[in-house]
Chain A
Amino acid sequence: MHELSIVANLFDLLEEQAEKVGAKKITLVKIKVGVLSGVVPELLQTAFDIYKKDTLASEAELIIEKVPLRMVCRQCHQETIRDDIILSCAHCGSTQLEKKEGTELILEKVELEIDE
């Protein structure tokens, strides 16, 4: 359960963003979680709900976008999207693939309330 530790990093980034624009409240947080990111989205949600109390994101909604594993074959140059995370091209069977998406764990955007 390293999700709490990741959420602590998330809040560092949120505070940084709020300070930048002078916001006192965060209303929405959107993150992207790759299937190979090593974190469990549901646990991230739980950790977020625990952590947000008494912070400027206490009423914020967390949206988690799950990103499947998207790869491009180095042999036939076609794209493969796999849920079973097997590194094999769906078109030619090659194992020479480049991962394009699915390993990321990123804060995509935040919605903040700006004081007048």
Chain B
Amino acid sequence: MSPKKEVLVLKDLLGSNKKIAGEIRAHLEEKGILTLNLLSSPGAGKTTLLEKLIEHLHPTYRIGVIEGDIETTRDAERIRAKGVSAWQITTGGACHLEAKMVGNLFSQIPADLDFLFIENVGNLVCPASYDLGEHLRLVLLSSPEGDDKPKKYPKAFTTADALVITKIDLIPHLPFDPQRAAQEARELNPELKIFTVSSVTGEGIQELSSFLIEKLKELRTIHA
């Protein structure tokens, strides 16, 4: 019988992704590009929110958008129709984006952007485990999904910097309590910033835009 050897390894299983994410973040900081990773279940309104944010921020600020989807280039086309650059990543079945997929696009991303938005694959579970090199992680929760979601999908809410409650114009028709959603999310993540928006009426978009502009200024002060 061959002799056995036990080796203590202690290596992070997501270490290779974290390493690439760190390189991406450093590169973006050098260029002064504030990068945001948008997470939510499918249909929570990520693309529509991006369209609204672009209307507020463009052309004062230069914006680029990476669209992650399993199939189709529909979302990138919607973003381009707003007059900003968009790059589509189709994962062909994978349920999340990984840092190397973002890294592969780097040669195409202009160095003079102000904001780079990464719209992750619609999924409230898997994308939460992958750092993409972003500075801020936004998790969206739409009112029709229900106010009990934070504790059902804790990883997305514990790793986010901000929660954006979307489709608030529908609240009068739903048993959705935004206070309860906010409280659940804060129990998991006391530092979480919370915004409530409607991409239909435009309510709350200004506040969210102002927050992003403030974060862009902070990034550029720190990495000046």
Chain A contacts to B: CB under 8 angstroms:
1-2, 5-6, 9-10, 12-13, 17, 20-21, 23, 25, 27, 31, 36-39, 85-88, 95-96, 104-116
Contacts and interface: CB of A to CB of B under 8 A. Distances in A.
A110 B9 contact: yes
Interface stretch (B11-19, B57-65, B132-140): B11-19
Contacts of B98: 5
A1 B93 CA distance: 11
Given A38-B155, A39-B129, A87-B190, A106 B4 contact: no
**Contact residues on B (Cβ < 8 Å of other chain), bracket:** 20 to 34
Nearest to B94: A5
Q: Which of A12, A38, A110, A114 has the most CB of B within 10 A?
A: A38
B13 A87 contact: no
Q: Which of A2, A12, A36, A106 has the most CB of B within 10 A?
A: A2
A107 B11 contact: yes
B154 A21 contact: no
A9 B14 contact: yes
Interface string B1-39: 011111111111111110000000000000000000000
Contacts of A27: 4
Of all A-B residue pairs in the complex, the 5 with the closest CB atoms, nearest first, are A95-B190, A2-B126, A38-B155, A38-B129, A113-B2
B7 A114 contact: no
